[in-house]
Homo-oligomer: A and B are copies of this chain.
């Protein structure tokens, strides 16, 4: 056994590159419609090597989804830290603002949408629940808000996902304005 070193192996560095590529590509075309070759191309390596780094397409998607939720929770934490008031409602609002800024790049949002659609794959459903748990637990504990407020936070987050995924704009009419009113998505 070699002595433990701090420096990462090159394979692990590659894995990070691949996961970043996977987030971007899966977010564009979804789980089923995205060939692994597209992820490999985005990462700048061969398809064969992607299969050496991850046991299959499913594991690759799960890894991307897990990283996605890590990034979401990180954003919520930064948002909460930036809140001027420690009032639960204010902290929750600051988290919402941070999330809205995070998803300026739509990848993290769309990946969650695609994951819901691919949840008939058990491993994906499990990763989705695990990510949801982390978001829910963090939002609740960090803000100190009551359950109903956290639930409301998540519900309007899902509404935001709907707005972005369907490409709703003000030109869609009065009803579109009704749906999107006050929902931040820059």
Q: How far is the CA of A114 from the CA of B115 in the complex (A)?
A: 10
The oligomer's copy count stands at 2
Give the residues in chain B near A120, CB-CB below 8 Å.
Answer: 28-30
Q: Is the CB of B168 within 8 A of A129?
A: yes
Residue on B with the closest CB to A131?
Answer: B166
- Please, could you name 26 A-B residue pairs with CB atoms under 8 Å apart, sorted by A? A29-B120, A31-B32, A32-B32, A32-B33, A113-B116, A116-B161, A116-B162, A125-B166, A129-B176, A132-B168, A133-B172, A133-B173, A133-B176, A137-B175, A140-B178, A147-B181, A148-B181, A150-B178, A151-B159, A151-B179, A152-B155, A154-B179, A155-B159, A158-B158, A158-B159, A158-B162
| Interface, chain A (partner B; CB < 8 A) | 28-33, 113-114, 116-120, 125, 128-129, 132-133, 136-137, 140, 147-148, 150-152, 154-156, 158-159, 161-162, 165-168, 172-173, 175-176, 178-179, 181
